[in-house]
Amino acid sequence: MRRKLVVGNWKMHGSHPANAELLAGILGARPFNTDVAVCVPFPYLSETAVTLAGSELRWGAQDVSAHEQGAYTGEVSAAMLAEFGCRYAIVGHSERRAYHAESDQLVADKAKAALARGVTPIVCVGETLQQREAGETEAVVKRQLSAVIHTLTHCIGEIVVAYEPVWAIGTGRTASPEQAQQVHALLRAQLLAATPHAADMRLLYGGSVKPDNAATLFAQADIDGGLIGGAALKAADFAAICRAAE
């Protein structure tokens, strides 16, 4: 039985007062009978670590460098994230693939760098609307995951995968539970061919998850929780989504 995981992706939102209020709200809504984490902007990792220390809530980053250290201005290494107690790092979010031209191989290298420092990568895959309408969904997500499988080889069982159809992110347009499950089943089958641990791996769904649609999404056989954007910025909504995963 896989324990569900709900991860808040704050994206580029936050401020000292807003973060304090949000984290206090989430802490106050506990206990959750599910795993819960927040992925915050880099400058707020320190205060998040302090605020959540001693709780069962986890925290993480939204990106990580593929490099260990060196002359990479603006990059943040996995070793640095580990120093702040990060459990997770999102890699390959569609916004990074689109706005920062991250390739499948770079995403895989980032996942590898994170794992090497004990930070669990949450690897995002997903098709655009154009790709879905052209019937390319399966080929696209398989290609994206395949790069990670080949790069991580025997460690692939240690990652978290997030299926996030690009057309559902921040649009209010959610994949139907059946559409999401269909892709999750494909991803699970691809992972099963690569590792005996695939049955224990957590596959999250992301894209306009809200309190009113979370439960039906999370009830699908291969959906093990969610990666939550907009709704993760309101403590009450995020807590309700965590409850839906219990």
Under rule CB under 6 A, residue 229 binds ligand PGA:
yes
What distance in Å separates the CA atoms of residue 73 and residue 90, rounded to the nearest whole number? 20
Residue number with CB closer to ligand PGA (137 or 207)? 207
Under rule CB under 6 A, residue 121 binds ligand PGA:
no
- Write the DSSP string, 26-39: HHHT---SSEEEEE
Span of 25-33, 68-76, 192-200, 205-213 interacting with ligand PGA by CB under 6 A: 205-213
Residue number with CB closer to ligand PGA (108 or 126)? 126
Under rule CB under 6 A, residue 206 binds ligand PGA:
yes
Residue number with CB closer to ligand PGA (164 or 222)? 164
Under rule CB under 6 A, residue 165 binds ligand PGA:
no
Under rule CB under 6 A, residue 227 binds ligand PGA:
yes
Distances (CA, A) of 85 to 81, 118, 124, 151, 204: 7, 10, 22, 25, 22
Name the residue whose CB lies closest to ligand PGA.
229
Residue from 147, 135, 215, 232 nearest 182 by CA: 135
CB of 68 to ligand PGA, least distance (A): 27
Report the SS3 class of residue 227. Answer: strand
DSSP 103: -
Cβ contact 224:5 at 8 Å:
yes
CB of 227 to ligand PGA, least distance (A): 4
Which residues between 9 and 48 bind ligand PGA (CB under 6 A)? Answer: 9
Residue number with CB closer to ligand PGA (194 or 241)? 241
Distances (CA, A) of 165 to 36, 72, 118, 187: 22, 31, 28, 13
**C-alpha angle 207-208-214 in degrees, rounded to nearest 5:** 100
The site for ligand PGA (CB under 6 A) is made up of 9, 164, 169-170, 206-209, 227-231
